Chain A
Amino acid sequence: MFRPRVIPCLLLYRNGLYKTVKFKKPRYIGDPINAVRVFNEKEVDELMLLDIEASKKGKEPDYGHIEDIVGEAFMPVCYGGGVKTVEQMGRLFSLGVEKVSIGSAAIENPELVGSASRIFGSQSVVVTLDITQKKISGKYCIAIRNGRQMTRLDPEEMAVKVQEMGAGELVVNNIDRDGTMRGYNHELILRIVRRVGIPVVALGGAGSLADIQMVISQGGAAAAAAGSLFVFYGKLKAVLIHYPSQSELSQLFEA
Protein backbone atom coordinates (compact mmCIF):
# COMPACT_ATOMS: atom_id res chain seq x y z
CA MET A 1 0.00 0.00 0.00
CA PHE A 2 1.18 3.45 -0.79
CA ARG A 3 1.86 5.78 2.13
CA PRO A 4 -1.12 7.33 3.97
CA ARG A 5 -2.96 10.18 2.25
CA VAL A 6 -2.19 13.80 3.08
CA ILE A 7 -5.15 15.96 2.11
CA PRO A 8 -5.40 19.74 1.75
CA CYS A 9 -8.78 20.90 3.01
CA LEU A 10 -9.96 24.07 1.29
CA LEU A 11 -12.86 26.14 2.56
CA LEU A 12 -15.14 27.73 -0.02
CA TYR A 13 -16.90 30.91 0.99
CA ARG A 14 -18.34 33.58 -1.29
CA ASN A 15 -16.72 31.91 -4.31
CA GLY A 16 -13.26 32.24 -2.87
CA LEU A 17 -10.98 30.24 -0.66
CA TYR A 18 -10.97 31.28 2.95
CA LYS A 19 -9.41 30.02 6.15
CA THR A 20 -10.92 30.12 9.61
CA VAL A 21 -9.78 29.78 13.18
CA LYS A 22 -12.08 27.62 15.32
CA PHE A 23 -14.62 27.99 12.54
CA LYS A 24 -14.63 31.78 12.88
CA LYS A 25 -13.03 34.84 11.30
CA PRO A 26 -12.78 33.70 7.67
CA ARG A 27 -9.67 35.14 6.04
CA TYR A 28 -9.40 35.39 2.24
CA ILE A 29 -6.80 33.09 0.73
CA GLY A 30 -7.35 33.24 -3.00
CA ASP A 31 -8.96 31.70 -6.04
CA PRO A 32 -9.80 28.00 -5.73
CA ILE A 33 -8.84 27.17 -9.32
CA ASN A 34 -5.36 28.56 -8.87
CA ALA A 35 -4.98 26.48 -5.73
CA VAL A 36 -6.06 23.35 -7.61
CA ARG A 37 -3.51 24.02 -10.34
CA VAL A 38 -0.74 24.34 -7.76
CA PHE A 39 -1.88 21.11 -6.15
CA ASN A 40 -1.92 19.33 -9.53
CA GLU A 41 1.71 20.29 -10.04
CA LYS A 42 2.58 19.08 -6.57
CA GLU A 43 0.84 15.74 -7.20
CA VAL A 44 -1.41 16.16 -4.18
CA ASP A 45 -3.01 12.90 -2.99
CA GLU A 46 -6.54 14.15 -2.59
CA LEU A 47 -8.41 17.39 -2.04
CA MET A 48 -11.25 18.25 0.29
CA LEU A 49 -13.49 21.19 -0.63
CA LEU A 50 -15.90 22.37 2.00
CA ASP A 51 -18.45 25.10 1.38
CA ILE A 52 -18.75 26.73 4.77
CA GLU A 53 -21.70 28.92 3.87
CA ALA A 54 -23.98 26.35 2.37
CA SER A 55 -25.38 24.62 5.44
CA LYS A 56 -25.84 27.87 7.31
CA LYS A 57 -27.88 29.39 4.53
CA GLY A 58 -29.60 26.19 3.51
CA LYS A 59 -28.30 26.84 0.00
CA GLU A 60 -27.87 24.36 -2.80
CA PRO A 61 -24.23 23.57 -3.59
CA ASP A 62 -22.86 25.94 -6.23
CA TYR A 63 -22.72 23.32 -8.97
CA GLY A 64 -21.29 25.56 -11.67
CA HIS A 65 -18.41 26.66 -9.51
CA ILE A 66 -17.77 23.16 -8.20
CA GLU A 67 -17.72 21.80 -11.74
CA ASP A 68 -15.12 24.37 -12.74
CA ILE A 69 -12.92 23.55 -9.78
CA VAL A 70 -13.22 19.79 -10.06
CA GLY A 71 -12.72 19.85 -13.81
CA GLU A 72 -9.26 21.27 -13.20
CA ALA A 73 -8.35 18.71 -10.52
CA PHE A 74 -6.39 15.63 -11.52
CA MET A 75 -6.64 14.18 -8.06
CA PRO A 76 -9.67 12.87 -6.20
CA VAL A 77 -11.92 15.54 -4.71
CA CYS A 78 -14.27 15.20 -1.79
CA TYR A 79 -16.89 17.93 -1.64
CA GLY A 80 -18.98 18.85 1.38
CA GLY A 81 -21.24 21.69 2.43
CA GLY A 82 -25.01 21.85 2.61
CA VAL A 83 -25.60 18.44 1.06
CA LYS A 84 -28.95 17.04 2.20
CA THR A 85 -30.35 14.77 -0.50
CA VAL A 86 -29.30 11.91 -2.75
CA GLU A 87 -30.28 14.01 -5.76
CA GLN A 88 -27.73 16.63 -4.78
CA MET A 89 -25.14 13.91 -4.28
CA GLY A 90 -25.88 12.37 -7.67
CA ARG A 91 -25.46 15.72 -9.30
CA LEU A 92 -22.16 16.28 -7.55
CA PHE A 93 -20.84 12.89 -8.69
CA SER A 94 -21.79 13.66 -12.26
CA LEU A 95 -19.61 16.78 -12.05
CA GLY A 96 -16.56 14.69 -11.23
CA VAL A 97 -16.62 14.83 -7.45
CA GLU A 98 -15.18 11.55 -6.18
CA LYS A 99 -16.70 11.56 -2.73
CA VAL A 100 -19.38 13.63 -1.06
CA SER A 101 -19.17 14.56 2.56
CA ILE A 102 -22.28 15.05 4.62
CA GLY A 103 -22.19 16.71 8.01
CA SER A 104 -25.28 18.31 9.46
CA ALA A 105 -27.48 16.15 7.23
CA ALA A 106 -25.97 12.92 8.57
CA ILE A 107 -26.81 14.03 12.07
CA GLU A 108 -30.32 15.25 11.33
CA ASN A 109 -31.17 12.46 8.94
CA PRO A 110 -28.91 9.40 9.35
CA GLU A 111 -31.11 7.53 6.85
CA LEU A 112 -29.49 9.67 4.18
CA VAL A 113 -26.21 7.87 4.79
CA GLY A 114 -27.94 4.52 4.24
CA SER A 115 -29.72 5.57 1.06
CA ALA A 116 -26.64 7.23 -0.36
CA SER A 117 -24.39 4.26 0.24
CA ARG A 118 -26.90 1.90 -1.33
CA ILE A 119 -27.16 4.03 -4.47
CA PHE A 120 -23.63 5.32 -4.82
CA GLY A 121 -21.59 2.76 -2.91
CA SER A 122 -20.22 3.39 0.55
CA GLN A 123 -16.80 4.36 -0.79
CA SER A 124 -18.36 7.54 -2.18
CA VAL A 125 -20.04 8.56 1.05
CA VAL A 126 -18.03 10.43 3.67
CA VAL A 127 -19.42 11.68 6.94
CA THR A 128 -17.69 14.66 8.53
CA LEU A 129 -18.17 15.13 12.24
CA ASP A 130 -17.44 18.62 13.52
CA ILE A 131 -16.55 18.13 17.16
CA THR A 132 -16.01 20.49 20.04
CA GLN A 133 -15.14 19.90 23.64
CA LYS A 134 -17.41 21.32 26.31
CA LYS A 135 -15.48 23.61 28.61
CA ILE A 136 -16.85 22.51 31.96
CA SER A 137 -17.49 18.80 31.60
CA GLY A 138 -14.72 18.14 29.09
CA LYS A 139 -17.16 16.03 27.08
CA TYR A 140 -16.92 16.00 23.33
CA CYS A 141 -20.03 16.74 21.37
CA ILE A 142 -20.99 17.17 17.75
CA ALA A 143 -21.84 20.58 16.33
CA ILE A 144 -23.81 21.18 13.15
CA ARG A 145 -24.50 24.10 10.78
CA ASN A 146 -20.85 24.93 10.48
CA GLY A 147 -20.30 24.88 14.22
CA ARG A 148 -23.18 27.14 15.08
CA GLN A 149 -25.44 24.63 16.72
CA MET A 150 -24.41 22.22 19.46
CA THR A 151 -25.97 18.84 19.82
CA ARG A 152 -25.79 16.47 22.75
CA LEU A 153 -24.59 13.71 20.51
CA ASP A 154 -21.54 11.74 21.48
CA PRO A 155 -19.05 11.55 18.61
CA GLU A 156 -18.09 7.94 19.27
CA GLU A 157 -21.70 6.74 19.24
CA MET A 158 -22.41 8.77 16.12
CA ALA A 159 -19.33 7.36 14.42
CA VAL A 160 -20.54 3.82 15.07
CA LYS A 161 -24.01 4.73 13.86
CA VAL A 162 -22.92 6.24 10.57
CA GLN A 163 -20.65 3.30 9.92
CA GLU A 164 -23.59 1.00 10.44
CA MET A 165 -25.59 3.05 7.98
CA GLY A 166 -22.90 2.56 5.38
CA ALA A 167 -20.51 5.52 5.43
CA GLY A 168 -17.24 4.61 3.72
CA GLU A 169 -15.07 7.12 5.52
CA LEU A 170 -15.22 9.38 8.52
CA VAL A 171 -13.63 12.81 8.82
CA VAL A 172 -13.11 13.81 12.43
CA ASN A 173 -12.87 17.59 12.47
CA ASN A 174 -11.90 19.20 15.75
CA ILE A 175 -13.37 22.69 15.83
CA ASP A 176 -11.28 23.72 18.83
CA ARG A 177 -8.03 23.08 16.98
CA ASP A 178 -9.16 24.49 13.60
CA GLY A 179 -6.68 27.07 12.33
CA THR A 180 -4.59 26.96 15.49
CA MET A 181 -1.78 24.89 14.03
CA ARG A 182 -0.89 23.45 17.43
CA GLY A 183 -1.33 19.79 16.59
CA TYR A 184 -4.21 17.40 16.10
CA ASN A 185 -6.28 16.12 19.01
CA HIS A 186 -4.89 12.59 19.19
CA GLU A 187 -7.02 11.50 22.08
CA LEU A 188 -10.22 12.30 20.22
CA ILE A 189 -9.05 10.65 17.02
CA LEU A 190 -7.90 7.51 18.78
CA ARG A 191 -11.18 7.15 20.65
CA ILE A 192 -13.09 7.11 17.39
CA VAL A 193 -10.60 4.96 15.50
CA ARG A 194 -11.00 2.28 18.14
CA ARG A 195 -14.76 2.12 17.62
CA VAL A 196 -14.96 1.89 13.83
CA GLY A 197 -13.63 -0.24 11.00
CA ILE A 198 -13.85 2.43 8.31
CA PRO A 199 -10.96 4.83 7.57
CA VAL A 200 -10.79 7.90 9.79
CA VAL A 201 -9.35 11.13 8.42
CA ALA A 202 -8.04 13.59 11.00
CA LEU A 203 -8.72 17.31 10.47
CA GLY A 204 -8.10 20.34 12.64
CA GLY A 205 -4.84 21.58 14.13
CA ALA A 206 -2.03 20.41 11.85
CA GLY A 207 0.92 22.77 12.27
CA SER A 208 3.71 20.72 10.73
CA LEU A 209 4.49 17.57 8.76
CA ALA A 210 5.48 15.99 12.07
CA ASP A 211 1.90 16.49 13.29
CA ILE A 212 0.67 14.66 10.22
CA GLN A 213 3.05 11.78 10.78
CA MET A 214 2.02 11.53 14.42
CA VAL A 215 -1.74 11.57 13.99
CA ILE A 216 -1.37 8.61 11.66
CA SER A 217 1.21 6.61 13.55
CA GLN A 218 -0.07 7.38 17.04
CA GLY A 219 -3.59 8.61 16.54
CA GLY A 220 -4.51 5.72 14.28
CA ALA A 221 -5.85 7.95 11.54
CA ALA A 222 -5.84 6.47 8.04
CA ALA A 223 -5.17 9.86 6.50
CA ALA A 224 -4.53 13.44 7.58
CA ALA A 225 -6.23 16.55 6.25
CA ALA A 226 -5.09 20.11 6.85
CA GLY A 227 -6.04 23.64 5.90
CA SER A 228 -3.75 26.25 7.38
CA LEU A 229 -0.69 24.09 6.92
CA PHE A 230 -1.01 24.22 3.13
CA VAL A 231 -2.20 27.79 2.66
CA PHE A 232 -0.05 29.71 5.12
CA TYR A 233 3.67 29.96 5.36
CA GLY A 234 5.92 31.17 8.15
CA LYS A 235 5.40 32.75 11.51
CA LEU A 236 3.48 35.67 10.08
CA LYS A 237 1.12 33.35 8.23
CA ALA A 238 1.67 34.79 4.79
CA VAL A 239 -0.70 33.30 2.25
CA LEU A 240 1.09 30.76 0.09
CA ILE A 241 -0.47 27.65 -1.43
CA HIS A 242 2.04 24.87 -1.00
CA TYR A 243 2.46 21.15 -0.36
CA PRO A 244 5.45 18.93 0.45
CA SER A 245 7.34 17.12 -2.29
CA GLN A 246 6.81 13.42 -2.94
CA SER A 247 10.21 12.59 -1.46
CA GLU A 248 9.50 14.63 1.69
CA LEU A 249 6.27 12.69 2.09
CA SER A 250 7.89 9.27 1.54
CA GLN A 251 10.52 10.11 4.10
CA LEU A 252 7.85 11.18 6.56
CA PHE A 253 6.30 7.74 6.58
CA GLU A 254 9.38 5.60 6.35
CA ALA A 255 9.30 3.22 9.31
Chain B
Amino acid sequence: MIGIVDYRMGNIKSIASMLRKIGAISKIVTDPGELYKAEKIILPGVGAFDEGIRCLKQFGFWHVLNELVMQGKVPVLGICLGMQLFGISSEEGKSKGLGWIPCHIEKFNFSRRKDHDLLKIPHMGWNYVIPEKDHYLFHYVPDPMRFYFVHSYHYVCHEDEYVLASTNYGYNFISVIARDNIMGVQFHPEKSHKYGLNLLKSFVEFP
Protein backbone atom coordinates (compact mmCIF):
# COMPACT_ATOMS: atom_id res chain seq x y z
CA MET B 1 0.00 0.00 0.00
CA ILE B 2 1.32 3.43 -0.97
CA GLY B 3 0.52 5.92 1.78
CA ILE B 4 -0.26 9.45 0.65
CA VAL B 5 0.26 11.79 3.58
CA ASP B 6 -2.76 14.00 4.15
CA TYR B 7 -1.47 16.98 6.09
CA ARG B 8 -4.00 19.25 4.38
CA MET B 9 -1.55 20.52 1.82
CA GLY B 10 -1.43 19.01 -1.61
CA ASN B 11 -3.15 17.35 -4.52
CA ILE B 12 -3.89 14.16 -2.65
CA LYS B 13 -6.94 13.23 -4.73
CA SER B 14 -5.12 13.71 -8.02
CA ILE B 15 -2.23 11.58 -6.81
CA ALA B 16 -4.66 8.91 -5.67
CA SER B 17 -6.41 9.06 -9.07
CA MET B 18 -3.18 8.60 -10.92
CA LEU B 19 -2.06 5.72 -8.71
CA ARG B 20 -5.43 4.08 -9.28
CA LYS B 21 -4.96 4.48 -13.01
CA ILE B 22 -1.62 2.64 -12.90
CA GLY B 23 -3.19 -0.07 -10.77
CA ALA B 24 -1.34 0.66 -7.53
CA ILE B 25 -3.05 0.25 -4.18
CA SER B 26 -2.88 3.51 -2.29
CA LYS B 27 -4.47 5.13 0.70
CA ILE B 28 -4.87 8.72 1.68
CA VAL B 29 -3.49 8.68 5.21
CA THR B 30 -5.08 11.16 7.57
CA ASP B 31 -4.31 9.27 10.77
CA PRO B 32 -0.50 9.20 11.19
CA GLY B 33 -0.72 5.79 12.88
CA GLU B 34 -1.88 4.31 9.58
CA LEU B 35 1.38 5.33 7.90
CA TYR B 36 3.09 2.35 9.58
CA LYS B 37 1.15 0.10 7.21
CA ALA B 38 2.53 1.78 4.10
CA GLU B 39 5.21 0.08 2.03
CA LYS B 40 6.03 3.39 0.42
CA ILE B 41 5.10 6.98 1.20
CA ILE B 42 4.24 9.98 -0.89
CA LEU B 43 4.48 13.44 0.64
CA PRO B 44 2.64 15.90 -1.60
CA GLY B 45 2.71 19.64 -1.11
CA VAL B 46 1.24 22.82 -2.47
CA GLY B 47 1.79 26.05 -0.59
CA ALA B 48 4.22 27.83 1.65
CA PHE B 49 7.12 26.30 3.61
CA ASP B 50 6.27 27.38 7.14
CA GLU B 51 2.67 26.35 6.69
CA GLY B 52 3.86 22.95 5.48
CA ILE B 53 6.06 22.39 8.54
CA ARG B 54 3.32 23.62 10.83
CA CYS B 55 0.78 21.25 9.31
CA LEU B 56 3.10 18.24 9.44
CA LYS B 57 3.51 18.84 13.15
CA GLN B 58 -0.07 19.80 13.84
CA PHE B 59 -1.47 16.69 12.19
CA GLY B 60 0.99 14.41 13.92
CA PHE B 61 3.19 13.37 11.01
CA TRP B 62 6.52 14.87 12.04
CA HIS B 63 7.78 12.09 14.31
CA VAL B 64 6.17 9.25 12.38
CA LEU B 65 7.81 10.37 9.15
CA ASN B 66 11.22 10.72 10.80
CA GLU B 67 10.90 7.28 12.30
CA LEU B 68 9.66 5.51 9.18
CA VAL B 69 11.93 7.27 6.70
CA MET B 70 15.19 7.73 8.60
CA GLN B 71 15.08 4.61 10.72
CA GLY B 72 12.72 2.34 8.87
CA LYS B 73 14.18 3.30 5.47
CA VAL B 74 10.71 3.31 3.94
CA PRO B 75 10.89 4.71 0.39
CA VAL B 76 9.40 8.19 0.28
CA LEU B 77 8.67 10.48 -2.66
CA GLY B 78 8.32 14.18 -1.92
CA ILE B 79 6.42 16.29 -4.44
CA CYS B 80 6.99 20.03 -4.87
CA LEU B 81 6.64 21.56 -1.39
CA GLY B 82 6.83 18.02 -0.02
CA MET B 83 10.31 17.69 -1.52
CA GLN B 84 11.32 21.08 -0.12
CA LEU B 85 10.30 20.07 3.39
CA PHE B 86 13.03 17.38 3.27
CA GLY B 87 15.67 20.14 3.28
CA ILE B 88 17.32 22.06 6.11
CA SER B 89 15.55 25.38 5.72
CA SER B 90 13.94 27.62 3.15
CA GLU B 91 14.27 31.27 2.32
CA GLU B 92 10.49 31.26 2.09
CA GLY B 93 10.03 30.75 5.81
CA LYS B 94 11.55 30.63 9.23
CA SER B 95 10.94 27.00 10.19
CA LYS B 96 13.47 24.20 10.14
CA GLY B 97 12.81 21.50 7.58
CA LEU B 98 13.00 17.75 8.15
CA GLY B 99 16.71 17.96 7.38
CA TRP B 100 16.87 14.65 5.53
CA ILE B 101 18.65 16.24 2.59
CA PRO B 102 21.46 18.59 3.67
CA CYS B 103 20.50 21.40 1.33
CA HIS B 104 18.73 24.72 1.55
CA ILE B 105 15.85 26.09 -0.45
CA GLU B 106 16.17 29.48 -2.08
CA LYS B 107 14.08 31.72 -4.26
CA PHE B 108 14.80 32.01 -7.98
CA ASN B 109 17.23 34.85 -8.43
CA PHE B 110 17.78 36.21 -11.89
CA SER B 111 19.44 39.46 -10.90
CA ARG B 112 22.73 38.41 -12.50
CA ARG B 113 21.14 37.87 -15.87
CA LYS B 114 20.85 40.65 -18.40
CA ASP B 115 17.29 39.69 -19.29
CA HIS B 116 16.24 39.23 -15.67
CA ASP B 117 13.05 41.22 -16.01
CA LEU B 118 11.80 38.89 -18.72
CA LEU B 119 11.79 35.81 -16.54
CA LYS B 120 8.77 35.66 -14.30
CA ILE B 121 8.61 34.13 -10.86
CA PRO B 122 6.99 31.67 -10.09
CA HIS B 123 8.38 29.22 -12.59
CA MET B 124 5.09 28.00 -13.90
CA GLY B 125 4.59 25.64 -16.78
CA TRP B 126 5.97 22.59 -18.44
CA ASN B 127 9.72 22.14 -18.55
CA TYR B 128 12.34 19.55 -19.35
CA VAL B 129 14.01 17.44 -16.71
CA ILE B 130 17.57 16.40 -17.53
CA PRO B 131 18.88 13.42 -15.54
CA GLU B 132 22.39 13.67 -14.16
CA LYS B 133 22.52 10.04 -13.08
CA ASP B 134 20.69 6.84 -13.79
CA HIS B 135 17.93 6.05 -11.36
CA TYR B 136 15.00 3.69 -11.35
CA LEU B 137 12.66 6.63 -10.84
CA PHE B 138 13.07 7.48 -14.53
CA HIS B 139 12.76 3.92 -15.75
CA TYR B 140 9.38 4.17 -17.48
CA VAL B 141 9.40 7.88 -18.28
CA PRO B 142 9.54 8.68 -22.02
CA ASP B 143 12.33 10.85 -23.38
CA PRO B 144 12.66 13.80 -23.44
CA MET B 145 11.21 13.99 -19.93
CA ARG B 146 8.96 16.96 -19.26
CA PHE B 147 6.80 17.77 -16.29
CA TYR B 148 4.61 20.52 -14.91
CA PHE B 149 6.28 22.94 -12.53
CA VAL B 150 4.82 25.68 -10.40
CA HIS B 151 7.17 27.07 -7.77
CA SER B 152 9.13 30.11 -6.76
CA TYR B 153 11.76 28.33 -4.67
CA HIS B 154 14.22 25.54 -5.45
CA TYR B 155 16.90 23.40 -3.87
CA VAL B 156 20.47 24.62 -3.64
CA CYS B 157 23.05 21.96 -2.81
CA HIS B 158 26.76 22.48 -2.44
CA GLU B 159 27.55 18.94 -3.47
CA ASP B 160 26.25 16.87 -6.34
CA GLU B 161 25.74 13.81 -4.24
CA TYR B 162 21.97 14.05 -3.94
CA VAL B 163 21.24 15.71 -7.27
CA LEU B 164 19.40 13.37 -9.61
CA ALA B 165 18.21 15.79 -12.29
CA SER B 166 18.19 19.42 -13.21
CA THR B 167 15.95 21.77 -15.15
CA ASN B 168 16.68 25.06 -16.81
CA TYR B 169 14.81 28.23 -15.99
CA GLY B 170 17.12 31.20 -16.21
CA TYR B 171 19.80 28.86 -14.93
CA ASN B 172 20.04 25.16 -14.18
CA PHE B 173 18.38 24.31 -10.90
CA ILE B 174 17.90 21.02 -9.09
CA SER B 175 14.60 19.40 -10.02
CA VAL B 176 15.04 15.87 -8.65
CA ILE B 177 16.93 14.76 -5.54
CA ALA B 178 17.58 11.32 -4.14
CA ARG B 179 19.30 9.92 -1.09
CA ASP B 180 18.88 6.19 -0.56
CA ASN B 181 15.18 5.70 0.16
CA ILE B 182 14.39 9.40 -0.04
CA MET B 183 13.40 10.91 -3.38
CA GLY B 184 11.99 14.29 -4.24
CA VAL B 185 10.67 15.94 -7.37
CA GLN B 186 10.16 19.67 -7.67
CA PHE B 187 7.49 19.19 -10.34
CA HIS B 188 3.99 17.69 -10.10
CA PRO B 189 3.80 14.17 -11.54
CA GLU B 190 0.07 14.07 -10.80
CA LYS B 191 -0.38 16.95 -13.22
CA SER B 192 1.98 15.72 -15.90
CA HIS B 193 0.00 13.26 -17.99
CA LYS B 194 1.87 10.24 -19.21
CA TYR B 195 5.17 11.54 -17.81
CA GLY B 196 3.81 11.67 -14.31
CA LEU B 197 1.98 8.37 -14.67
CA ASN B 198 5.21 6.69 -15.69
CA LEU B 199 7.27 8.29 -12.94
CA LEU B 200 4.79 7.13 -10.31
CA LYS B 201 4.77 3.70 -11.94
CA SER B 202 8.56 3.57 -11.55
CA PHE B 203 8.32 4.66 -7.92
CA VAL B 204 5.71 2.01 -7.19
CA GLU B 205 7.49 -0.86 -8.92
CA PHE B 206 11.12 -0.27 -7.96
CA PRO B 207 13.48 -1.12 -6.38
Contacts and interface: CB of A to CB of B under 8 A. Distances in A.
Interface in B90-132: 92, 117, 120-122, 124-128
Nearest to A222: B120
Contacts of A90: 8
B69 interface: no
Contact of B12 (A94, A197, A222): A94
A71 B13 contact: yes
Given A2-B128, A71-B17, A96-B11, A124 B47 contact: yes
B150 interface: yes
Contacts, number: 108
Nearest to B21: A74
Interface string A64-77: 00010011111110
B188 A76 contact: yes
A98 interface: yes
Interface stretch (B31-39, B157-165, B174-182, B190-198): B190-198
A43 B146 CA distance: 12
Contacts of A168: 122, 124, 152
- Interface core residue of A46, A67, A76, A118 (most chain B CB under 10 Å): A76
A122 B117 CA distance: 18
A32 B37 CA distance: 36
A4 interface: yes
A5 B9 CA distance: 25
Given A90-B8, A98-B188, A168-B124, A119 B51 contact: yes
B12 to A, nearest CB: 7
Contacts of B192: 74-75
Interface residues of A, number: 38
Interface in A60-89: 67, 70-76
B46 A121 contact: yes
Interface in B180-207: 188, 190-194, 196-197
A123 interface: yes
B125 A45 contact: yes
Interface string B25-56: 00000000000000000000011100100000
Contacts of A93: 9-11, 46-47
B66 interface: no
A121 B13 contact: no
- Interface core residue of B125, B190, B194 (most chain A CB under 10 Å): B125
Contacts of A45: 125-126, 148
A198 interface: yes
B48 A120 contact: yes
A99 interface: yes
Interface in A211-225: 222-223
Given A70-B14, A99-B150, A121-B48, A1 B124 contact: no
B124 A199 contact: yes
Nearest to A223: B125
Nearest to B120: A199
A188 interface: no
A46 to B, nearest CB: 8
Contact of A4 (B21, B125, B169): B125
A47 to B, nearest CB: 10
A121 B47 contact: yes
A45 B124 CA distance: 11
Contact of A1 (B81, B125, B151): B125
Interface of B: 8-14, 17-18, 21, 46-48, 51, 81, 92, 117, 120-122, 124-128, 146, 148, 150-152, 168-169, 188, 190-194, 196-197
9 contacts: A2-B146, A73-B14, A74-B18, A74-B21, A75-B192, A119-B51, A121-B81, A124-B150, A222-B125
6 A-B pairs with the lowest CB-CB distances in the bound complex, closest first: A123-B122, A2-B126, A96-B14, A96-B13, A76-B191, A121-B48
